[in-house]
Amino acid sequence: MSPLWTHSELMAALGGQASGAFDANGVAFDSREIGAGDLFFALKGEATDGHLFVDKAFANGAAGAIVSAPVNFPHILVDDTFDALNALAHASRARMGGQVIGVTGSAGKTGTKEALFAALDRSSRGKAHRSVKSYNNHVGVPLSLARMPRDTVFGIFEMGMNHAGELRQLTALVRPHAAIITTIAPAHIEFFKDESGIADAKAEIFEGLLANGTAIIPRDNRHYLRLRKAADLHASHVVSFGFASEADVRLLDHVEGKNGETLITARLPDGALCYGLSQSGEHWISNSLAVLAAVEAVGGDIAAAGLALAEMGGLAGRGARHPIMVQHGTALLIDESYNANPASMAATLAELGKVAGRKIAVLGAMRELGDKSRDYHLDLVGPLASAKVDFTILVGEEMQILAERLKAGVEGLHEFAHCATANDALELLKSNMRESDTILVKGSNSMGLSAIVSELVGGKN
């Protein structure tokens, strides 16, 4: 099998001075992720310096390293390792002859990216590539590009941002044939004047579209016209998706199954498709419509996409469902621990409300909401009450305002508690779980609620 990068390709892309010749089978900047024959980028960050981990990278099997200071291992010496990573990303994109899709949005980016990968990998027989985990920032995107095999037919790249201008740089690297915005919501609103600023920043993804490119935007979102105006400046084709009758790819009908699956009939520009969706919730229906729009835009197999959507497993931290052991039997744990904003909180609680039986919600604070944080946390009263949650555990300082509101009394919500940390919430949850409960765990990643999931799924409760 040919290497991911030959030594001559590395030198052509990066320049620099080589201590010797080596090929690379993979690329990583985390020494813990290095496998046999991989290339290690010694990046310098605010908290640490990758050069401190060169020894570990080679102990794990690295073939060579990209460094800005000489080391006693095979290496290429460059002026700046971050610039070198971007150079390799450019080289990877330049040699790739397939179709590329970029994905962004205030919620649903990773799920949509994974669904697209499943759909396109199926039809291309393993020739699709995507960003792993949530590698969607100024380091993760070039790394994901640098890892892309030369014979890739479809590349799918997630792009995130906290500030204006960030997506402009990322999309210039990715240069997509199709670009999706899943939705606009007040995520990271701390760094913007209002939601319209978020919409403008997300719309930067269209600036990187290649000639004859397609912009895919949410028709139901209240910022649709703003997104449409931005898309029209850069895209040859604009495709909308959603529930509205005006959407180009729209929901015609859906039937929910008893195990969370959904049977969907969708209208596409050139016909209709009936398909199953393994994930539950209106937000996932919307995401699946965006997936279909993108698959069609890049010439993928729509029928294969429908099959892939029906077979997709749950994503860790983003809706994965786990049976867990409790006293006298089992309960169901829904893992939404990776991220949270007001829109995703409301959508997830709405899905919890559809569940029969006793419901527990462990909700961590939502971060980066700025001076409106108190209002956004207080606004969760409505979704909680509508879902008829039986026991609510609130975690983090920002949830204090909601705890005070629940203490004052909300019809239908009687049992709740407020904890400072995820560990406190875990102990409280352990003492309150019952057989046949459905337990939702959701919060911003920085709240550490994934530790609750790991403990319970690991069977240590």
Domain ranges of the chain: 7-81, 96-311, 320-457
pLDDT at 145: 98
Cα distance between residue 215 and residue 321, in whole Å = 33
CA 43 to chain centre: 23
pLDDT at 328: 82
What are the average pLDDT values for consecutive 10-residue runs of the chain, which has 461 residues?
A: 94 96 97 96 91 97 97 97 98 97 94 96 96 88 97 97 93 98 83 89 98 97 97 98 97 85 92 91 93 97 95 81 89 91 89 91 92 92 94 96 92 88 95 94 93 83 41
pLDDT at 460: 43
246 contacts 237 by C-beta, under 8 angstroms: no
Non-local (6+) Cβ contacts of 150 within 8 A are: 2, 4, 95, 96
* Among candidate residues 292, 272, 274, the one with its CA nearest the CA of residue 284: 292
Helix (H) or strand (E) run with residue 140 in it: helix 140-146
pLDDT at 188: 66
Q: Do 96-311 and 320-457 come out as alike in CATH topology?
A: no
Cα distance between residue 398 and residue 315, in whole Å = 26
CA distances from 417 to 85, 242, 406, 414, 435 (A): 47, 37, 9, 10, 20
The alpha helices in 192-334, defined as continuous H runs, are 195-202, 224-234, 282-297, 302-311
pLDDT at 461: 41
Half-sphere exposure for 342 (CA within 13 Å, toward CB): 22
Give the residues across from 331 on adjacent strands. Answer: 324
Burial of 51 (0-12, 13-18, 19+ CB in 10 A): middle
The domain 320-457 having CATH identifier 3.90.190.20: the answer here is yes
Report residue 204: phi and psi, to 5°. -60, -25
User: Taking the model in full, what pTM does it have?
Assistant: 0.83
pLDDT at 370: 84
CA 140 to chain centre: 12
CA 96 to chain centre: 23
Q: What CATH number labels 96-311? A: 3.40.1190.10
pLDDT at 193: 82
Q: 3-state DSSP call for residue 180?
A: strand
Cα distance between residue 11 and residue 84, in whole Å = 11
Cα distance between residue 164 and residue 295, in whole Å = 28
Q: What CATH number labels 7-81? A: 3.40.1390.10
pLDDT at 343: 85
Rg value, the chain, Cα: 23
69 contacts 152 by C-beta, under 8 angstroms: no
Report residue 181: phi and psi, to 5°. -110, 115
Helix (H) or strand (E) run with residue 122 in it: helix 109-123
CA distances from 369 to 95, 105, 118, 344, 458 (A): 40, 16, 33, 14, 33
